[in-house]
A = this chain, B = another copy of it.
Amino acid sequence: MTDSESVLDRQPVPTGLSVTVIDIDDPDDLRVDDFRDLNSVDRRPDLPALPGGRVGKGLVIAEGVLVAQRMIASRFAPHAFLGVDKRLHELSADLRDPSLAGVPFYRASADVMARVVGFHLNRGVLAVARRPQALDVADALAGARTVAVLEGVNDHENIGSIFRNAAGLGVDAVLFGAGCADPLYRRCVRVSMGHALLVPFAGVADWPGGLDILHDNGFQTVSLTPEPSSPALAEALIDPATGAPRDKVAFLVGAEGPGLTRAAMRASHVRARIPMSRGTDSLNVATAAAIAFYERVRAGQ
């Protein structure tokens, strides 16, 4: 390409990058297939690779400078980038990371990018990684003292918000019980500000029986519920034997509307409620979780 628009679009490649910058001018170029049709229900590259049945590529997409930076810092090692020249320059310090040696940065115009991904992406840069092996619950809990456990949370934005709130308020791990959506879907990763890639998480295969691993590891399991007869949150976090805050706490939260199942609540040690005004709806699940996390921070844990 030698036309004037391209000349204006592209500054010289920054020096010392670990990534290899490759210009893409044809939206049908096969090399950018991992970024293709991001909004497609059945072809998007971040569909999980299911065992048997429908098979997705099982990739993870980071969107925007901040989330791409967090992916580079995470255990999700990006194997390619697609972005406009401006974002290449904004990311240049990050793209010198030795772990990115030889990784392609596909540089394209905003228009070519839009034709690859299927819509105009105003964040201007994407990174893609293969999913590493999932953590098991014991790995995710290593060193953890505050944990969030989700049941039936099938809204990607809520899961993303819970990761963001977990990172901001000192939660060490997130566990997924039955009925939750994929935390590695692009929208979830984006809403989490990339923290879905950084906060350790794992799925609890046997639900809710698998909660016993928390009990075996000394966690007090606390089910959040709007039930007015339940003790207030602050009370549930104190060990009545000592009057001190519990050492390890896991908060169980359920979907808006139905909330936690009876089985999950029965499998936990205690129930706790956020004091609410009469006659109003429960809070959004991510907001309720944030308040629980805050109460824990507040107690100095």
Binding site for B on A (CB under 8 A): 161, 164-165, 167-170, 193, 195, 232, 234, 274-277, 280-284, 286-287, 290-291, 294-295, 297-298
Q: Which 6 residue pairs of A and B lie closest in terms of their CB atoms, listed nearest first?
A: A167-B280, A291-B294, A168-B280, A170-B277, A287-B290, A275-B297
Which of chain B's residues have a CB closer than 8 A to the CB of A161?
A: 284, 287
Q: Would you call B165 and A283 a contact (CB within 8 A)?
A: yes
Measured CA separation A168–B281 after assembly (Å): 7
Which of chain B's residues have a CB closer than 8 A to the CB of A167?
A: 277, 280-281
Tallying the copies of this chain within the complex gives 2
- Report the minimal beta-carbon distance from A290 to chain B, rounded to whole angstroms: 5
Measured CA separation A295–B298 after assembly (Å): 10
Q: Would you call A284 and B170 a contact (CB within 8 A)?
A: no
Q: Would you call A277 and B234 a contact (CB within 8 A)?
A: no
Q: Would you call B234 and A276 a contact (CB within 8 A)?
A: no
Q: A298-B234, A298-B275 are in contact. Are A281 and B169 (CB under 8 A)?
A: no
- Report the minimal beta-carbon distance from A230 to chain B, rounded to whole angstroms: 15
Which of chain B's residues have a CB closer than 8 A to the CB of A281?
A: 164, 167-168, 193
- Report the minimal beta-carbon distance from A110 to chain B, rounded to whole angstroms: 22
Q: Would you call B298 and A165 a contact (CB within 8 A)?
A: no
Measured CA separation A161–B169 after assembly (Å): 19
- Report the minimal beta-carbon distance from A191 to chain B, rounded to whole angstroms: 9
- Report the minimal beta-carbon distance from A6 to chain B, rounded to whole angstroms: 32
Measured CA separation A170–B287 after assembly (Å): 15
- Report the minimal beta-carbon distance from A22 to chain B, rounded to whole angstroms: 32
Set B232, B287, B294: member contacting A165, Cβ < 8 A? B287
Which of chain B's residues have a CB closer than 8 A to the CB of A165?
A: 283, 287
Set B170, B234, B290: member contacting A291, Cβ < 8 A? B290
Q: Would you call A169 and B277 a contact (CB within 8 A)?
A: yes
Measured CA separation A195–B282 after assembly (Å): 13
Most chain B CB within a 10 A radius of its CB, from A165, A167, A232, A280? A280
Which of chain B's residues have a CB closer than 8 A to the CB of A297?
A: 275
Which of chain B's residues have a CB closer than 8 A to the CB of A193?
A: 281
Which of chain B's residues have a CB closer than 8 A to the CB of A275?
A: 294, 297-298
Q: Would you call A290 and B298 a contact (CB within 8 A)?
A: no
Which of chain B's residues have a CB closer than 8 A to the CB of A290?
A: 283, 287, 290-291
Which of chain B's residues have a CB closer than 8 A to the CB of A284?
A: 161, 164
Measured CA separation A192–B286 after assembly (Å): 15
The 24 listed contacts between A and B (C-beta, < 8 Å) are A164-B281, A164-B283, A165-B287, A167-B280, A168-B277, A168-B280, A168-B281, A168-B283, A169-B276, A169-B277, A169-B283, A170-B277, A232-B298, A274-B294, A275-B297, A283-B290, A286-B287, A287-B287, A287-B290, A290-B290, A291-B291, A294-B294, A294-B295, A295-B298
